[in-house]
């Protein structure tokens, strides 16, 4: 459940969740998921809601680790990171680095900490 619905995934190139891949699966009858995994580095959290077209995603990345967020979205125009609008073309917002847009997902690299992402999924 934590791997598919919550999207807490091991990055095989970084053992023991040194880098966590966050890629939640949105759809079906689920409108929210709250999940966590206690790694050797600390608690990893992945919590999301999807109401109407708004996807709200909260994650926790443990100290001394990193994360790769694969945020489901239909457009880069309506993404907010910790309440700040992401402007397409910018590579860094509040310490969150935009990597690319691929297959309906905006991909970001993050450092340890707590993050809130908001996007639009129709």
Q: Is residue 36 a contact partner of residue 7, using CB atoms and an 8 Å limit?
A: no
**Which carries the bigger pLDDT value, residue 28 or residue 44?**
44
Nearest to 44 by CA among 84, 83, 14: 14
What is the structure's pLDDT at 1? Answer: 64
What would the mean pLDDT of 6-12 be, rounded to a whole number? Answer: 94
Confidence grade of residue 12 (pLDDT, cut at 50, 70, 90): very high
Q: Which domains does the chain have, with CATH numbers?
A: 8-120 (2.60.420.10)
First vs last Cα of the chain: how many Å apart? 24
Q: How many C-beta atoms surround the C-beta of residue 7 within 10 A? A: 24
Q: Is the pLDDT of residue 4 over 80?
A: no
b/e sequence 41-58, b meaning 16+ C-beta within 10 Å: bbebbbbbebeeeebebe
**Would you say the C-alpha torsion 41, 39, 21, 60 has a positive or negative sign?**
negative
What is the structure's pLDDT at 2? Answer: 65
State pLDDT tens for residues 72-113: 999 999 999 999 999 887 777 777 999 999 999 999 999 999
State pLDDT tens for residues 30-82: 899 999 999 999 999 999 999 999 999 999 999 999 999 999 999 999 999 99
**DSSP designation for 16:** G
Q: Is the pLDDT of residue 17 over 70?
A: yes
């Amino acid at each position: 459940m934590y791997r598919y619905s919550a999207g807490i995934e091991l990055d095989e190139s970084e053992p023991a969740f040194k880098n966590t891949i966050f890629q939640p699966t949105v759809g079906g009858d689920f409108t929210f998921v709250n999940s966590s995994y206690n790694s050797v580095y600390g608690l990893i959290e992945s919590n999301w809601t999807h109401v109407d077209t708004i996807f709200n995603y909260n994650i926790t990345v443990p100290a001394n680790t990193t994360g790769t967020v694969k945020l489901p979205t239909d457009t880069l125009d309506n993404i907010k990171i910790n309440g700040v609008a992401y402007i397409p073309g910018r590579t860094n917002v509040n310490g969150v680095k935009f990597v690319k847009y691929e297959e309906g997902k905006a991909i970001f690299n993050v450092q340890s900490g707590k993050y809130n992402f908001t996007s639009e999924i129709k």
